Amino acid sequence: MDKKMLKDGMEMIDAHFKEEGLSRRDAIKMFGVGGAAVLMGSGVATEAKASSSAAKAKIVIIGGGLAGMSTAARLTNSLDNPDITVIEPGEISTSYQPGQTLVGGGVWDKSELVYKTDDFVPDGVTLIKEKAVEFDPENNSVKTSGGKTVKYDYMIIAAGLKLDFSRIKGLGIEETITSTSDHSPVSKAVGKNGITSIYYQQGSEDTWKEMQKFIAEAKSGKKVKGIFTHPNTPIKCGGAPKKIMYLTDARLREAGARDNADLTFYPNGSKMFGVKEYHDAIVNQFEARNMKWNYRHNLIAVDPEKKVATFMRHWNEKGPWDEDLEEYSIVPKSETVEKEFDFIHITPPMVAAEEIGKSPVGSSKGWVPVHKETLQHIKYPNVFALGDIAAVPMGKTGGSARKQYKVVVDNIISMMEGKELTAKYGGYTVCPLITSLSTVMLAEFDWSKKPTPSFPLDPTQERYIWWLLKVYALKPMTQYGMLSGRA
């Protein structure tokens, strides 16, 4: 089928579904794992079993989330005699984190995204339910929280990242958490008084509860203010802070209360998106929805009682003339700004786990330093990293991990067989940007920072077909495709 026929066909499908609608039951039937594969074509379709290798080595994987367990599964499929150990303490670490946005917007229930880690451990893989706390890459060993010393020939770090609400003053939070770990240190302040965050499981459920209160206030005739933040650190799923804002807008419109709500986005950066085409599209979408934004604002404090958020607003000004460089110097400026809110969605600062970031395999910024294409550690050749914890310019999404884990597996097997590392990660990142309760803009891009759509459709357009993909297809594709090591 040529591109024009495919484009015309998909646009017809998109228009038909948008006009006719599709029940949840029928959508689940249609977009099961097979439907997901067909819809996303060669980019996501499940693959045939890879040819196996007779090479032998002891492989340790740090982290049993989506990236770690998918890597374990693919290695199991690819080796005749796999010797694989996963070190992961979390009982639900493999849960479907991309669904937390949908829970926060009242589309899904939290129970729909919680998976038990034990259900996704590949046959033959050893799972140590402890945390890796000490790393000795010079001697190829890891020590666990339970005192075990685990030796390896190759180590793969897929430990994800942690949410650091402690950097925001006034919340009284001192500990970092993961999306699926004990949320109690954070939930004492977040999830009440209009303060929300979809970045951890309980937080996503609490976001929907607080959003309904916010909508009820607007519906009663009260003029209300909603604030949405984006911090000054790298974050997983960079589109999520905007997704929950779009969903808040959609729910207010659904309730007939949008005119009573002021919605403002406060990102630390100076753009909506790092890819110009998607940046421009989002600006147009914000303008069409009367959603406001203020760049270069980093959230530094929240007063839960007064419902006031404090930002550090920062900018640059032209300074004195530099005679040596023959140009004006740039002088950084900043000031604190206070904003009242009735509802605030906090995207917390995010960091690498302390025991990894401060170890020999970490870096000054915490993230594990790897060559961005091979994902091999820059100092220790038998160490690889992928997913949120890898220090690559892009790639803190599940869609990125789907590309990365294949590269890591192929390159480790090449090393085991004494071959050169030829598999390369091209920076592929995908963000299904939810823009309403029926549309998604499927933003795909790579190192080029240009749109790289999987289909011959304008990637800057909001489409119903991508909503179906996001809500019904991606979860089964992840469960039965990626976590089996074949998608």
> Could you give the residue numbers annotated as active site?
237, 431
Cα 317 to its chain centre, rounded Å, is 34
- Round to whole Å and give the CA distance between 129 and 132: 10
Q: Phi first, then psi: what are they for 466, rounded to 5°?
A: -75, -25
Helix, strand, coil proportions of the chain in percent (round to 5)? 35, 25, 40
Element (H or E) spanning 447, and its range? none
Contact 171, 182 (CB under 8 A): no
Q: Classify 89 as helix, strand or coil.
A: coil
Cα 182 to chain centroid distance, Å, stands at: 19
What secondary structure, in 3-state letters, does 118-174 show? HHHCCCCCEEECCCEEEEECCCCEEEECCCCEEECCEEEECCCCEECHHHCECCCCC
Cα 431 versus chain centre, distance: 8
Instruction: Measure the CA–CA gap between 473 and 34, rounded to whole angstroms.
Output: 9
Distance CA 187, CA 410 (A): 41
- Quote the CA–CA distance of 52 and 413 in Å, as a whole number: 10
User: Is the distance from CB of 240 to CB of 101 less than 8 angstroms?
Assistant: yes
According to the 3-state scheme, what is the secondary structure of 233-259? Answer: CCCCCCCHHHHHHHHHHHHHHHCCCHH
CB 189 within 8 A of CB 167: no
